Chains A and B, each alone.
Chain A
């Protein structure tokens, strides 16, 4: 339990998000272009963090389907920034892999026609030093 708790704190710290500000309006999910590809929806990112279930976020499809377009961050009326939560969960996964966040050699393996181009670009921007 304590490691889970730890992960929750990590997600909050990395993202700078206070999940308690969410009023569950769903505007984030209404704005998300990848909504249909996701198993856990953007407004649920917030409740998963509230419930300290980072494990589920880490293992979700959403982790890789989020485009980091930050439409949800832009439109959230409560300034919650749900996109930053999934981003933080992603960072935790990447950090567990060590310093090499993403190497170009891994790309062909990851390539899958389903993955949006923007995700790769965004991943490169974020996970390469």
Chain B
């Protein structure tokens, strides 16, 4: 028989304004096993915890129920308080009467009724609780960073500087990410490559960092502190150790018709290529789909011209298996496809481009060598129109519901740079709102207007109509003047919405990390744990978590590193004792539980079983407690009721249901 104490928290007025807390405490005394009940203003305060501890000692309590906020907030607080008073922490249950009750109801009588029911369920469960003891697991002192953009680079550098080993896995042939494609960066207008390449070099040279480019994560198993990851290193067809990076192969390669990914398809590249001059590593890859040798068997020019003998057509993909204590996701973003926005004529005219394409056009290493010109006829534009919020802030099914956050600033940057370099070009920006919070950001936008004469018009564009003479007729509205505007432009630039790299779905599934409806990775707490995934040991860095500019990305990357370092610095982790175990006598070896276990924690053993005097050899399920995360998938799957979860046994859950239905 348990001796249970019930503690009802007011949470100031958060609970007490909607729930009659004294009534809940009073009702608790009618429940089985309850020998003590009280309510208090703030149970989580020092004084509140002292009350719990005093009651445990004075009344020899064997279990407690705290009726308060979500266990996500204070379960640990109350478990630790109980432990200090000599009670096993797993004898503590939380009845969530705030998030599940007072915050979502208005009627005091109804809410109080519900709070009593929630209290009752928790008491019913504690009656069946047994003390549990957490085990220990080791921590592999090595981190994995997925994605080698500025976010991944910064996180890796910070972890490496703290003395831990870090591996970066980058899908493309070079690290650098989107930032390597940018020309100049707001708010200071320094050249993107000039500030990015020193970081790329530093991370490449760092003794604690290993970079796998042209590689992808293929499989992840294990759990916080002890992940095992398979990395597929795709065949580069070039020997990294022999190649000197001279670039002769790329010059001589006769297959030069593949659209350049780096230049957003605005020009072409050879089949053997390094995406950009400052690429790290400076070793080309052969794109086998465009290489004549791989497609037709005839060519082999690169191998002939390569002085270093680095070309290796026989190279195979390689699988590297490595253990990690922490994993950081930094897979970044892409621009949305504009297929749904035909009114802006993106697919009809080469002179309607996205902002990222404009970055390449303005860049000295880009398709026009940095000259601002129309991609249709190479002519210098006289009139340029920018359209903001293309595909952002939409509640229809064509676009994204969120504000992409960076486009107001980069559009101001583009407009300013063009007016500075080509003062005779007129620049018009159509905007819905100009959103420029941030240090020196609004000043930056105002400079575009006041010092550079950029014409900002409050209103949207309805249609862009390509004209027979090659001009683009832009029909927009000026909402301040309440006038429709017809403007002939030479180029139109669309600030298209950004979205998480579509790959992130695959990655999230492998990591059992959650993503939101927009495919952004979800943080463990929107305010208090913004760089951690709800899955232990997984951290978030950069735009994969939400739209960000570079300064914000770098700050978040550092924060993710600190969290990973905090984990790697531990020698051992306490493991969750609420794991599954199967009853040998009931298990029929059907394998259903192993099929549903997301952590691969279940295996089978052939064992001699003594079933009530009958000796038999049977195949039975065995759970590896180190791998089991206590998700409970197996317990609900098991057709024979053999699988059960410690701390959440079938009996306990049913007792809760009974208490609710009573």
A23 CB within 8 Å of chain B: yes
B298 → A minimal CB distance (Å)? 52
A30 touches B475 (CB 8 A): yes
Interface-located stretch among A55-63, A74-82, A96-104: A74-82
Contacts A27-B460, A31-B462, A35-B484; A78 near B396 (Cβ below 8 A): yes
- With the chains together, A77 CA to B394 CA distance in Å? 5
Specify which of A25, A31, A76 is in contact with B463 (CB 8 Å cutoff).
A31
What does the 1/0 interface line of B362-401 toward A look like (CB < 8 Å)?
Answer: 0000000000000000000000000001000111101100
Which A38-96 residues sit within 8 Å CB-CB of chain B? Answer: 41, 43, 71, 75-79
Determine the distance from Cα of A23 to Cα of B476 in the docked complex, in whole angstroms: 16
Contact at B475–A25, with CB atoms within 8 Å?
no
A118: CB under 8 A from chain B?
no
Nearest-CB distance from B110 to chain A (Å)? Answer: 29
B395, B462, B485 pick with most chain A CB within 10 angstroms? B462
List the B residue with the shortest CB-CB distance to A30.
B462
A41 to B461, CA, bound (A): 15
Interface residues contributed by chain A, number (CB under 8 Å): 21
- Contacts A30-B475, A30-B484, A77-B395 known; A23 to B432 CB distance under 8 Å? yes
CA distance A75 to B390 in the complex (A): 12
Find A21's partner among B395, B460, B462 (CB 8 Å cutoff): B395
A32 close to chain B: CB less than 8 A: yes
- Bound-complex Cα distance A58 to B524 (A): 52
Q: Is B395 a contact partner of A30 (Cβ separation < 8 A)?
A: no
| Residues of B close to A71: CB separation below 8 A | 462
A24 close to chain B: CB less than 8 A: yes
Contact A30 B394 (CB under 8 A): no
Distance in angstroms between the alpha carbons of A35 and B343 in the assembled complex: 18
Does A10 make an interface contact (CB < 8 A)? no
A122 at the interface (CB under 8 A from B): no
- A43, B479: Cβ atoms closer than 8 Å: yes
Are the C-beta atoms of A26 and B479 separated by less than 8 Å?
A: yes
Chain B residue with Cβ nearest A29: B477
- The residue in chain B whose Cβ has the minimal distance to the Cβ of A27 is B460
Please report which residues of chain A, range 5-31, place their CB below 8 angstroms from some CB of chain B when the two chains form the complex. Answer: 21, 23-31
Q: Which residues of B contact A24 (CB under 8 A)?
A: 432, 479
Q: Does A36 contact B (CB under 8 A)?
A: yes
A42 and chain B: residue at smallest CB distance: B477
CB <8 Å contact, B463 and A79 = no
> Do residues B475 and A29 form an inter-chain contact, with CB atoms below 8 A?
no
Out of B343, B399, B460, which one reaches A26, CB within 8 Å?
A: B460
The answer to the question of B275 belonging to the interface, with a C-beta cut-off of 8 Å to chain A, is no
Q: Please, could you name 11 A-B residue pairs with CB atoms under 8 Å apart, sorted by A?
A: A25-B459, A26-B459, A26-B479, A27-B477, A30-B475, A30-B477, A35-B484, A41-B477, A77-B393, A78-B394, A79-B395
Beyond the given pairs A29-B484, A31-B343, 17 more chain A to chain B contacts, judged by CB atoms under 8 angstroms and listed by A's residue number, are A21-B395, A24-B479, A26-B460, A26-B476, A26-B477, A26-B479, A27-B461, A27-B462, A30-B462, A31-B463, A32-B484, A43-B477, A75-B462, A77-B389, A77-B393, A78-B393, A78-B396
Which positions in B face A, CB cutoff 8 Å? 343, 389, 393-396, 398-399, 432, 458-463, 475-477, 479, 482, 484-485
- Top 8 A-B pairs, shortest CB-CB distance: A31-B462, A30-B462, A27-B460, A30-B477, A26-B459, A77-B394, A26-B477, A25-B432
